[in-house]
């Protein structure tokens, strides 16, 4: 139990905050709740779900669960061991859960059929094990805006939590703060609720141009576009705000060492820190924190130069000794992760703004910092905790630790391309010495500024864009950035090949390039797109295996399958077709029967973006594929496509309702499976509705609801499988 300071209520019994986070959102929310809990006097700890043992739940009367989902409602990677442990509890064994009180916040997207699947499974299981909910669960929907659910859930949480975690010595305690106030330690800065904001004249333009940050002698100039904040009101009369994130409570200690390191454009040297000292090669286990190194065989275009969206075929080679590791026993339907770094010039510009990059006259260098958890490694952000400690740099006391240059943090660890979160804006407001900048940051992070923040987010500002608007913030503590900047997430790509043809050493993928225009006309490119587009033969690419739990072909070759894919969603389905083709070749002359394989593919124009179309059509003519149904959305329906049974103007759901009704119904009635891969927002929902419609009509469903329930049963049985994004 931490000591009680003057003016602070005695600490509550232990409060545990457990999160499952794939991209960093749930972790950020959990750590924000932890900061607020500590400021309010709770004895709080925060851990990922896989580290739940460190929370000592048997001594904790209240638990907050914050979890997202990945894939088709699966738990995030840092929660899968926790879910496995829950499943292992059998019979009357309730483990530690009986009597524990919990509250739960799930993050999801209703464009996916299994909305908040991981959160709902968690709640169902801990309730079965005897845990009791003390506060209404909430499920935030990214399709409509997560904050619409998260903000009121958090706002109402604290008063309830005060009751659940009855304070020790409550009779002598200071009065409980209201839900929209913040009780802070005596040495903390005041909140904006109590801060007297000067009413001097303030003029803010709706568009603030950002300057050129530097023009180094040997590197291209990095120039920012404009940071756009539509609908920003006159803030000159601002005197108070409510609903701001809690002030940051650092959980890490960042120590600047005497060492500096040259900044290199190559990514190989960075990842080599975790290689074997003897062989200089990557070591298992192969994960996002310790990837293998693949070599580029080729990068070629799968689309014409005038296609609406460009798609590249990425072809990589794994070293045989790496591919022989059990972790790389992949099958069609699995994926592999690529650790694409932040573009070099943006990482360097950001590091320079943070005071972490210096031009010596001959080269750029970056200072090395050591990062430690305040109370040990469990306090480190997940993005660092998963990485093994490395040797200290020269000139520093020997030993292993989390040693990084500031540049490496900006290029490989933190996603400085992502829109900064409100908690970081609030922290920048605390640091700003200019009153106008302070007001702007506080307003954007407040409840009143929610609309302005959403408008700003539409222009996809990077960390550097925001920092350019607060030049009075000359020093930005790295512990603040590590607390609030989203970790750089790997990019996952489905295998398009089969290990039956080429073995495990060959990794292939279809990479859709993400180029998007902002409202102000600026064109941006996705992180992975920029990385893959620049690759050349022989380049090293950091990769790791990412197995799917369910999205695989049936072991029984006689089971019929229907494969529905649009755009790059055809990628894993092509792997299925290639795999089935190789199986047929292996079984040739042995009298082995195979189930039907129907392919329903959505494209814009057969002349521009029919991905793998010629190959799939040839396999149809060879008998591997029983039927190819093509949906063409942008041009008139062409005639005379060899190997194609039907062509429909429209989308894949239109094909299902028209020429592919029999393929869907027959496969399902024969015990087959339907695989759907593509965009969740339009295609995934549309296909499910179409399948429900044709299946309901064929089997006499009395209502649309009954037809939808038929598909829900298929989902539960593992016969309707989705890989959506």
Provide mean pLDDT across the span 615-635.
96
Backbone angles phi, psi at 215, to 5 degrees: -135, 80
Q: Is 56 helix (H, G, I), strand (E, B) or coil?
A: coil
Read off the pLDDT band of 373 (50, 70, 90).
confident
Cα dihedral angle (589, 592, 595, 599), rounded to 10 degrees? -30
H-only helix segments in 305-343: 320-323
pLDDT of residue 10: 43
Kindly report the average pLDDT of the chain as a whole number. 85
Whether the pLDDT of residue 662 is over 60: the answer is yes
Give the Cα-Cα-Cα angle 561, 567, 570 (nearest 5 degrees): 30
| Nearest-angstrom CA–CA distance, 431 and 334 | 46
The percent of residues above 90 in pLDDT, for the chain, comes to: 56
Residue 508, strand partner residues: 315
Tell me what the mean pLDDT of segment 684-702 comes to. Answer: 95
Q: How confident is the model at residue 225, as a pLDDT? A: 55
SS3 314: strand
* Domains of the chain, first to last: 14-172 (3.40.50.360), 561-724 (3.40.50.80)
The larger pLDDT score, comparing residue 622 to residue 109, is at 622
Question: Does the pLDDT of residue 259 top 50, yes or no?
Answer: yes
The CA-atom distances, in angstroms, between 61 and each of 65, 126, 148, 185, 267 are 13, 14, 28, 24, 46
Confidence of residue 118 (pLDDT cuts 50, 70, 90): very high
pLDDT by residue (tens digit) across 324-366? 999 999 999 999 999 999 999 899 999 999 999 998 888 899 9
User: For 376-398, how does the pLDDT look when each residue is reduced to its tens digit (9 = 90+)?
Assistant: 777 788 778 778 888 777 777 76
pLDDT at site 171? 36
The packing angle between helices 685-698 and 704-717, to 10°, is 110
Q: Is the pLDDT of residue 533 over 70?
A: yes
The tens digit of pLDDT for each residue in 33-48 reads 988 888 888 888 899 9
Helix residue ranges per DSSP H, 301-342: 320-323
Count other C-beta atoms under 10 Å from residue 125's C-beta. 15
Give CA–CA dist 627/596, Å, rounded: 8
pTM: 0.83
pLDDT mean over 590-597 = 93
Residue 633: closest CA among 680, 682, 571: 682
pLDDT at position 173, please? 35
Question: What is the per-residue pLDDT across 141-170, written as a single tens digit (0 to 9) for each?
Answer: 987 888 889 988 998 999 898 888 865 433
Each residue's pLDDT tens digit, 15-33: 999 999 988 889 889 988 9
Structure tokens that stand for 120 in this block: 């709902």
Listed range (132-141, 223-232, 242-251, 407-416) with the worst mean pLDDT:
223-232
pLDDT confidence band for 197 (50 / 70 / 90): very low
Average pLDDT value for residue range 51-72:
88
140-154, 433-447, 553-567, 679-693 — most confident range? 553-567
Alpha helices in 107-146 (DSSP H): 117-128
Backbone angles phi, psi at 260, to 5 degrees: -130, 160
Q: Which residues lie below 8 Å from residue 132, measured CB to CB, with a gap of 6+?
A: 99, 100, 101, 102
Confidence bin at 676 (pLDDT 50/70/90): very high
């Amino acid at each position: 139990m931490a000591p009680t300071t003057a003016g602070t209520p005695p600490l509550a019994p232990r409060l545990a905050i457990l999160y499952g986070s794939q991209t960093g959102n749930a972790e950020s929310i959990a750590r924000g709740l932890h900061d607020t809990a500590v400021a309010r006097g709770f004895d709080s700890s925060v851990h990922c779900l896989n580290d739940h043992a460190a929370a000592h739940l048997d001594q904790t009367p209240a638990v907050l669960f914050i979890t997202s989902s990945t894939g088709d409602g699966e738990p995030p990677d840092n929660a899968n061991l926790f879910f496995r442990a829950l499943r292992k509890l059998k019979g009357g064994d309730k483990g530690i859960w009986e009597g524990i009180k919990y509250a739960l916040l799930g993050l999801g997207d209703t464009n996916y059929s299994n909305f908040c699947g991981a959160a709902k499974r968690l709640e169902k299981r801990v309730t079965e094990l005897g845990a009791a909910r003390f506060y209404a669960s909430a499920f935030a929907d990214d399709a409509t805006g997560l904050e619409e659910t998260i903000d009121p859930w958090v706002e109402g949480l604290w008063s309830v939590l005060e009751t659940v975690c009855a304070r020790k010595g409550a009779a002598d305690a200071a009065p409980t703060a209201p839900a929209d106030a913040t009780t802070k330690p005596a040495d903390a800065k005041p909140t904006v609720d109590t801060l007297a904001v000067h009413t001097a004249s303030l003029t803010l333009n709706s568009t603030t141009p950002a300057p050129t940050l530097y023009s180094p002698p040997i590197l291209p100039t990095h120039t920012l576009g404009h940071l756009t904040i539509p609908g920003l009101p006159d803030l000159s009369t601002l005197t108070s705000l409510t609903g701001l994130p809690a002030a940051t409570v650092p959980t890490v200690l960042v120590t600047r060492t005497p060492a500096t390191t040259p900044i290199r454009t190559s990514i190989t040297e960075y990842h080599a820190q975790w290689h074997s000292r003897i062989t200089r090669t990557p070591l298992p286990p192969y994960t996002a924190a310790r990837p293998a190194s693949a070599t580029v065989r080729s990068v070629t275009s799968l689309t014409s130069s005038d296609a609406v969206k460009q798609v590249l075929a990425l072809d990589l080679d794994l070293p045989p000794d790496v591919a022989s590791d059990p972790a790389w026993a992949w099958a069609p339907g699995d994926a592999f992760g690529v650790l694409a770094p932040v573009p070099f010039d943006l990482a360097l510009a950001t590091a320079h703004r943070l005071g972490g990059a210096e031009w010596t006259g001959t080269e750029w260098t970056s200072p090395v910092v050591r990062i430690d958890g305040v109370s040990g490694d469990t306090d480190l952000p997940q993005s660092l905790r998963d990485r093994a400690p490395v040797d200290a740099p020269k000139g520093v006391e020997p030993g292993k630790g989390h040693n990084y240059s500031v540049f490496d943090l900006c290029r490989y660890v933190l996603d400085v391309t992502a829109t900064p979160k409100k908690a970081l804006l609030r922290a920048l407001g605390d640091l700003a010495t200019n009153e106008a900048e302070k007001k702007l940051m506080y307003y954007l992070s407040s409840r009143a500024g929610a609309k302005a923040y959403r408008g700003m987010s539409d222009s996809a500002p990077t960390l550097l864009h925001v920092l350019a608007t607060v030049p009075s913030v000359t020093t930005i503590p790295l512990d603040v950035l590590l607390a609030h900047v989203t970790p750089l997430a790997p990019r996952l790509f489905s295998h398009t090949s089969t290990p039956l043809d080429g073995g495990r050493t060959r990794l292939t993928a279809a990479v859709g390039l993400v180029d998007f225009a902002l409202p102000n006309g600026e064109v941006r490119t996705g992180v992975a797109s920029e990385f893959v587009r620049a690759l050349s033969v022989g380049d090293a690419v950091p990769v790791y295996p990412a197995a799917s739990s369910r999205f695989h072909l049936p072991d029984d070759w006689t089971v019929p399958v229907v494969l529905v894919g649009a755009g790059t969603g055809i990628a894993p389905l092509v792997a299925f077709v290639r795999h089935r083709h190789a199986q047929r070749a292996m079984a040739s002359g042995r009298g082995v029967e195979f189930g039907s394989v129907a392919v329903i593919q959505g494209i814009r124009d057969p002349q521009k973006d029919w991905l793998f179309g010629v190959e799939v059509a040839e396999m149809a003519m060879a008998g591997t594929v029983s039927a190819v149904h093509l949906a063409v959305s942008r041009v008139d329906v062409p005639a005379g496509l060899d190997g194609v049974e039907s062509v429909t103007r429209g989308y894949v759901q239109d094909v299902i309702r028209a020429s592919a009704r029999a393929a869907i119904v027959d496969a399902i009635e024969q015990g087959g499976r339907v695989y759907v891969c593509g965009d969740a927002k339009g295609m995934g929902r549309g296909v499910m509705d179409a399948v429900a419609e044709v299946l309901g009509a064929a089997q006499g469903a009395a209502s649309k609801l009954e037809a939808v329930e038929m598909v829900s049963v298929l989902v539960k049985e593992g016969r309707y499988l989705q890989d959506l994004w």
